[in-house]
């Protein structure tokens, strides 16, 4: 379970679109505040999903080969298949045409967005399918000991690590962070498709393989 949550958390925190949105927020006059709102809304969404999952299961692992257990595995399988589809589709499109990403018009208005709008955008751009996959993994755990709660905390922090890093960096070294984050944004916009292809295919294949193995054993 640790490896599953680690892979899902890494892909969640490295998703290109939320990172670009976050960098744009930090570039505004109220950058640190808006970045904090975005981060807290992002983290709150993950915590809410995990809390709901633990509440529904009572903190006990689902019985193997039961209907709820099969449903949880099906969720992971569906997310894996979806990721493979997205990655392969991006790969084929990229061969037909080069990356020509432009910043959408709504992103240009982020600097003046209200706190509620920023929080809503955070939830919208968050890869909830990955969070759902993480929740499906949690249904296999016995959540009662300190180590199990630390594992959930680890997943939450790892899934938010990129945002926390950029927020803290901007707070303690604003000039250097601003320069380097601008370069990071430019790099992501040039290589967004490649990043999505690699992240989607790797995690998708892992989830599909693991889910099929659980279904047949």
Total structural domains within the chain: 1
On whether the CB atoms of residues 157 and 149 are closer than 8 A, the answer is no
How many angstroms separate the Cα of 113 from the Cα of each of 9, 38, 97, 160?
Answer: 28, 11, 33, 21
pLDDT in tens, 115-163: 899 999 999 999 999 999 999 999 988 888 888 899 999 999 999 999 9
Residue 150 sits at φ, ψ, to 5 deg, of -65, -35
Over 60: is that where the pLDDT of 99 sits? no
How many angstroms separate the Cα of 116 from the Cα of each of 39, 113, 190?
Answer: 13, 8, 30
Whole-model pTM: value is 0.90
Q: Which has the closest alpha carbon to 9: 159, 113, 157?
A: 159
Q: Please report how many Cα atoms fall inside a 13 Å half-sphere around the Cα of residue 89, on the Cβ side.
A: 6
**C-alpha to C-alpha distance for 84 and 201, rounded to whole angstroms:** 5
pLDDT in tens, 53-97: 999 988 898 888 889 899 999 999 999 999 999 999 888 887 666
Question: What pLDDT was estimated at residue 90?
Answer: 85
List the domain range (segments joined by +) for residue 145. 2-216
Over 60: is that where the pLDDT of 100 sits? no
CA angle 133, 136, 138 (to 5 degrees): 115
Helix (H, G, I), strand (E, B) or coil at 81: helix
Q: Please report how many Cα atoms fall inside a 13 Å half-sphere around the Cα of residue 19, on the Cβ side.
A: 25
**C-alpha to C-alpha distance for 6 and 135, rounded to whole angstroms:** 13
Question: What pLDDT was estimated at residue 198?
Answer: 93
């Amino acid at each position: 379970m640790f490896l599953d949550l680690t892979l899902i958390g890494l892909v969640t925190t490295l998703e290109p679109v939320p990172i670009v949105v976050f960098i744009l927020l930090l570039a505004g006059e109220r950058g640190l505040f808006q970045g904090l709102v975005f981060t807290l809304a992002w983290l709150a969404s993950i915590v809410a999903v995990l809390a709901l999952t633990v509440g529904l299961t009572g903190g006990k692992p689902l019985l193997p080969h039961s209907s709820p257990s099969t449903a949880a595995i099906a969720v992971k399988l569906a997310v894996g298949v979806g990721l493979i589809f997205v990655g392969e589709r991006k790969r084929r499109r990229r061969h037909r045409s080069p990356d020509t990403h432009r910043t959408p018009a709504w992103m240009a208005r982020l600097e003046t967005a209200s706190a509620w709008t920023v929080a809503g955008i955070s939830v919208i751009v968050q890869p909830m399918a990955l969070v759902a996959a993480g929740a499906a993994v949690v249904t296999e755990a016995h959540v009662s000991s300190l180590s199990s709660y630390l594992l959930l905390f680890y997943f939450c922090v790892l899934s938010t690590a990129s945002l926390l890093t950029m927020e803290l960096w901007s707070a303690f070294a604003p000039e250097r962070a601003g320069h380097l984050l601008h370069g990071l944004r430019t790099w992501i916009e040039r290589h967004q498709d490649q990043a999505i292809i690699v992240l989607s295919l790797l995690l998708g294949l892992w989830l599909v393989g693991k889910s099929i193995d659980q279904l047949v054993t």
